[in-house]
Amino acid sequence: MSYSFSNQFDDDDPVVTDDYKTLLTGHDRILFLIDCGSDMQIPQKDGKIPVKVAFDCVKSVMLNKVFSSDVDEVGVILFGTASQNNAPGHEHVYILQDLDVPSAQKIKEVEAFGSEGDKDLTTEFGVATEEFPLGNVFWTCMEIFSERTKKTGTRRIFLITDQDNPHKKNTNLRNAAIQRAKDLGEIGVEIELFGLNTGGNLFDESLFYNEIMNGYQPTEESDEAQLEQVRAPKGASNNLDELLQRVRRKRPKKRSAFRIPFRLAEGLEIGIRGYNIIIEQSRGQHTWVYTAAEQLQEVETKTTYKCADTEQTLMPDEIKTYWPVAGGQSVFNNDERQKLRRSTDPSLKLLGFMSKDVMRPYRSIFHPYFIYPDESTFEGSTRTFAALLDTMLEQERVGLCVFTPRTNSTTFIVAMIPQREIMNENGIQTQPPGFCLIRLPYADDIREIPPTTIQHATEEQIEGAKGVIDKLYLDQMYDPADYENPTLQLHYAVLQSLALDQKAVEDVPDNTLPKYEILNKRLKDCVPRLESLLNADTEELDAVSSSSRKRKETSNDDAESSQKRARRPLSGSKSIEDCYKDQTLDHCTVPMLKDWVKQQGTYPKSRKADLINQICDILDKRP
């Protein structure tokens, strides 16, 4: 689903439905529709076969679901085959895999039809040689989704085909297919189109799929500019590599991080949803197990709190926290501590507007949030949100807001930065319209930079450094899609090899490693020159500072030797009791102190200062 305001300026605000309310919650179900016609099985110039790359996309989504969720479901339907496998008995429609949680067996089956597999679709299922109703394919999808008892969550169809105008000469079949597709939309099923340019033919959505996707339909009065706009391959992939990338972008389901009111002024509120657009990806939660009779049994984890002095087991309601204040201890229970954190109800409150030029990137202290209007809480939110966004983009303004995402959350100051919708050359949305919330620091968060002195470079050294920078200049912007976390990729590859009984993986491609061969060729003349310029100053500095360094080392040696002489009498032969009497317990080591405390039958503290106080308390009680 792409965020867009293209259809939000009608006479009436969007109608809130139950499907809209539950769209971003629950399970994610993806049903792949793969065209298996003859054109999809012809190798392209690079040797890749479109239908096999489509199965690579299915495998990629399945592996992602395996690692990220244990409840999301994926299914695969083939159409254009000679064989059939579906409950209604439609010809040329084959359900390869019903909607279900991906398993190792299902992934292996999909992998066998992929680019690296040895199975051939034509041999297994054949190819249809006659026209068949595309509406029956959508009908089969509706049957599958209707069988699911849980209606909440996202339900999507990933349609991969190179036929941009099915039923070109059969109006009845064409209208029936369009109606079936619209019926899917009415029950909350979203169709994602992945059109392919094959055989030199440019995929044209306007011929058929725009009506299904609620796009613009050309008329006899449409001018040439409008016709060119709808003919653009908005859902088409120029090559198969782009198809795989687009499927990867579409596969994550959109879950909101918060849903709160946005207070623009006194008495003026709209609803918004917030999304995490950048989160560090982790390996996921592991499970502790143990082996019992050659079977894995899950370990039940329990946390027990004990008193450090008496080792008495404590209940959670007995535990409190304290902060040291003026030499004392201010104690709070859990409820009191939560009240200290809560300063306002969850909301986003607008304070005012600023010029975008006052923003500084280094003031961001957390990942940004992306907010989008929520029509389910306040009707008219979308229209108001869109008007505010367009105005701020036009005037180049940034909003300053007070932000409390949840009830138990801290209140933050955020910058509300407008974000314009961006489409690529194929008409595919690469950046949705909305606002990004950037957390800003409080006055308490600012840390002063320690004063330091640096040596200023000469003009010749500056020119030498410029030569190195120019050679290493990157023409393109940083794109996160070009860099995958090598640690995570190795982790996933190992899990995949174990689950699918594949060859053991020892290493994976690492795009974060510099390309040294290319760098050496670029810098073969610049680096030696810069090194010669810097070494000249280094040798001079070494000569100037050598004498002072020697004097400092001599003074440090003298100080160290004096400290050793002062501590030499306090060796292990001296007892803790003697050190207590001489008030030299701080000269004893932590292991010595802990051993002595244990000998007294008491559990030792962890910090040295606490250990000394513990020993003093024990010896003070002795006669």
**C-alpha to C-alpha distance for 57 and 498, rounded to whole angstroms:** 21
Question: What sign has the CA pseudo-torsion 118, 119, 121, 122?
Answer: positive
Residues forming beta bridges with residue 436, ordered by sequence position: 370, 417
Contact 173, 133 (CB under 8 A): yes
User: How would you class 304 by CB atoms within 10 Å of its CB: exposed for 0-12, middle for 13-18, buried for 19 or more?
Assistant: exposed
- CA 574: distance to chain centroid? 59
**Phi, psi at residue 204, to the nearest 5°?**
-115, 105
**Phi, psi at residue 158, to the nearest 5°?**
-100, 105
**C-alpha to C-alpha distance for 202 and 192, rounded to whole angstroms:** 18
**C-alpha to C-alpha distance for 579 and 474, rounded to whole angstroms:** 65
**C-alpha to C-alpha distance for 159 and 64, rounded to whole angstroms:** 19
**C-alpha to C-alpha distance for 133 and 86, rounded to whole angstroms:** 14
**C-alpha to C-alpha distance for 546 and 524, rounded to whole angstroms:** 32
- Whole-angstrom CA distances from 411 to 347, 400, 403, 522, 565 are 9, 13, 6, 50, 55
Contact 51, 240 (CB under 8 A): no
Contact 297, 288 (CB under 8 A): no
Catalytic one of 21, 48, 151, 182? 21
Residue with tokens 């849980």: 150
Contacts of 27 (CB under 8 A, 6+ apart): 71, 72, 73, 150, 152, 153, 154
Per-residue burial over 558-576, b if 16 or more Cβ lie within 10 Å, else e, is eeeeeeeeeeeebeeeeeb
Active-site annotation holds for 21: yes
**C-alpha to C-alpha distance for 344 and 362, rounded to whole angstroms:** 27
Give the max Cα distance, the chain: 110
Q: Catalytic residue numbers?
A: 21
